[in-house]
Structure 1
Amino acid sequence: NDPDLARAAVERVGGDRLTAGIDAKGGEVAVSGWIEGSGVAACDLAREMGKAGFKHIVYTDIARDGMQTGLDVQAYVQMAEAFGHPVIASGGVASVSDIERLAPVASSIEGVITGRAVYEGTLTVEEGVAACAAATKE
């Protein structure tokens, strides 16, 4: 909602100590508790946040968040390319196989938020950590 505030925070604290969050549906940034579309493309905002100095970003695919429907791997690759750094993937993880699907694009991924999968018992933290470790060795 406030790119000027984000830029000011980076100037004051440093982009390596902050994480920007972009929540989107269908590639459009969502605001106001995911209720409203902003008219801004998620990749465009990621590019702006990269230029502003952020080094970390969480990209949440809100259409998949909490649904355990699997990840849109290509969306995270596109966000990482636009941002200029790997992204933290959020939204859709159902099991360890979803994390394993990220292995071929591990250079675009800094981390994975699993939330509901762990809560529902379809993924353990240990399985997730092991899958991430295996992906970074490939």
Structure 2
Amino acid sequence: MILFPAIDLKEGKCVRLQQGDMARATIFNHDPAQQAGLFESQGFRYLHIVDLDGAFAGKPVNGEAVDRILESVAMPVQLGGGIRDMATVEGWLSKGVTRVILGTAAVRDPEFVKNAAMHHPGRVAVGLDARDGRVAVQGWAESSDLEALELAKRFEDVGVAAIIYTDIARDGLLKGLNLEATIALAEGVSIPVIASGGLASLDDVRALLEPRAAGLEGAITGRALYDGRLDARAALSLIAGLPL
């Protein structure tokens, strides 16, 4: 079980949104590289980054901030937001990003996603962000007619490393993960699934360690870490099976 601390980038700063609304952003750190270093020093072993501005623009916007993060930490990094063509995929991978996350492209250009995954096996993840069960695109600004499981099944057996499933209704609100929907998705595909959206406390981490969630690769945590509701040491100790 991997717990991914999240860094969401808006105008070069580390922020958290509520339900994906750019107008409801809270700045938690003006120096994302410093934040990444802190997460690494706390013992996290995989970092999750989203270029929020890039997700809306359809191209990388916070590249400078990502570059600084990559220079500041040794742990692997997965990155999403505004990655819509092969040149961008290969550019990030060559800079040291461990795997890229393709979200909007998964809906609008699935052949590109399949091609990227086949050319870079294990280094392309698919981001499925759902609102009321339907996949949203363009930085969550638009909803599609596709259900998450329907879309996920399109990427079986092409080398996709993981599916990151986010419940938009819970994201940034600390209401707890939507484990039922996430586990159902994991049971429907052979691709590893990562839970995202709403992780609020150690109770959520405990739920991730229950047998019913054994099929999940991990979960992403954001606001709960930043505002102190989730203690990093306690969470990582719980996952490692160490006494709290």
For the criterion TM > 0.5, the same-fold answer is: yes
Q: 1:106: which partner in 2? A: 213
- Match for residue 116 of structure 2? 9
Asked if residue 78 in structure 1 is aligned to residue 187 in structure 2, the reply is no
Query: Equivalent residues in 2 for 1:109-128 (5 A)?
Result: 109-128=216-235
The answer to whether the Cα contact below 8 Å between 1:27 and 1:43 also exists between their aligned partners in 2 is no
5 Å-filtered alignment, 1:24-63, equals 24-63=130-169
Q: Say whether residues 1:97 and 2:203 are aligned partners.
A: yes
TM-score by length of 2: 0.51
State the SS of the aligned residue for 2:236: helix
Distance in 1 between residues matched to 2:240 and 2:156, nearest whole Å: 26
Kindly indicate which of the two structures has a greater share of residues assigned to helix: 1
Which stretch shows the higher mean deviation, 103-112 or 69-78?
103-112
Q: Which has the larger radius of gyration?
A: 2
Does residue 1:133 correspond to 2:240, yes or no?
A: yes
Identity %: 42
Q: CA deviation at 1:54?
A: 1.1
Shift of 1:74: 1.0
Cα shift at 1:115? 0.6
SS in 2 for 1:88: strand
Stretches of structure 1 that go unaligned for 5 or more consecutive residues are none
State TM-score, norm by structure 1.
Answer: 0.88
State the Cα distance separating 1:51 from its structure 2 match.
Answer: 3.8
RMSD: 1.5
Q: Which residue number corresponds to residue 22 of structure 2?
A: none
Q: Greater CA deviation, 68-77 or 103-112? A: 103-112
SS state at 2:214 partner: helix
- Structure 1 pair 85/107, CA: closer, same or farther in 2 (3 Å)? farther
Partner of 1:21: 127
* 1:9-28 Cα shifts (integer Å, max 9, x gaps): 012111x1221111111111
Q: Relative to 1, partners in 2 of residues 1:130 and 1:49: Cα closer, same or farther, differing over 3 Å?
A: farther
> Structure 1 CA distance, aligned partners of 2:153 and 2:234?
32
Matched-pair contact (CA < 8 Å) for 1:76–1:108: no
Give the Cα–Cα distance (whole angstroms) in 1 for the partners of residues 214 and 189 of structure 2.
13
Aligned length: 133
Distance 1:86 1:7 in 2: 16
